[in-house]
Amino acid sequence: MQPGLRYLPGHLGAEAQRQLVGSLRGAVAAAPLFTPVMPRTGRPFTVRMTNLGPLGWVSDRAGYRYQSTHPDTGQPWPAIPDPLLGLWRQVSGYPHDPEACLVNFYSGGARMGLHRDEDEEDFSAPVVSVSLGDTAVFRIGGPERGGKTETLKLASGDVLVMGGASRLCYHGIDRVLSGTSTLLKDGGRINLTLRRVTKP
């Protein structure tokens, strides 16, 4: 495993997972999932997204960026729920709260190609990822495109902390294994990533 990557399987119990899904339902009602498109080409992502917190990550023909409002509603993003702030304080080892929680929703055939998360200003903060619902096949490589990669299955309740060198490693989601969880009524997978965006 990459240095700085911490894998906490089953960190969230069933009740904590259900509570998070409940908070997300309210948040998604206020800040609906949108389909981002690739810069320049406008090719749609297969993952749908929304955000929580003061800043949210968006992608459109103009580029990738963080912004304080939802691209369709123009409203500020909903707040990050307290249990997620508590998780960040518990596992991040970073002395300031996150500014963004990107919510990725994967339905059956969705995937995410290999990429690095480099739109943030502060790489000294880790990215904390929470998986909910169906199990995903997560792929992680090194800091360079084209290097060796390995896979890790991420199940509901698993938490990954990408700090240190792993913060800038290539990673993606190869596929979601349908029917592996009953947490989400209509199946699929939710991934939450808590991020610090600006330098404190």
Binding positions for ligand MD5, rule: CB under 6 A: 102, 104, 112, 117, 127, 129, 136, 140, 162, 166-167, 169, 171, 173, 191, 193
Segment 113-132, which members bind Fe ion (CB under 5 A)?
Answer: 117
Q: List Cβ neighbours of 103 (8 Å cut-off, separation of 6 or more).
A: 24, 27, 28, 33, 49, 50, 51, 52, 190, 191, 192
Q: Decide whether 4 or 76 has the Cβ nearer to Fe ion.
A: 4
Work out what residue 167 binds among Fe ion, ligand MD5, none; the CB cut-off runs from 5 to 8 Å by kind.
ligand MD5
Structure-block tokens of residue 66: 């963080």
CB of 87 to ligand MD5, least distance (A): 14
**Which H or E element spans position 129?**
strand 127-133
d(CA 18, CA 16): 5
Is residue 25 left, alpha or beta, with left meaning phi > 0 and alpha meaning psi from -120 to 50? alpha
Residue 120 touches which member of Fe ion, ligand MD5, none, C-beta under 5-8 Å by kind: none
> Nearest to residue 172, comparing CAs of 124, 106, 119?
106
Positions at the binding site for substrate: 57, 64-66, 119, 145
Please report, in range form, the residues annotated as the binding site.
57, 64-66, 104-106, 115, 117, 119, 145, 171, 189-195
Interacting residues toward Fe ion by CB under 5 A: 117
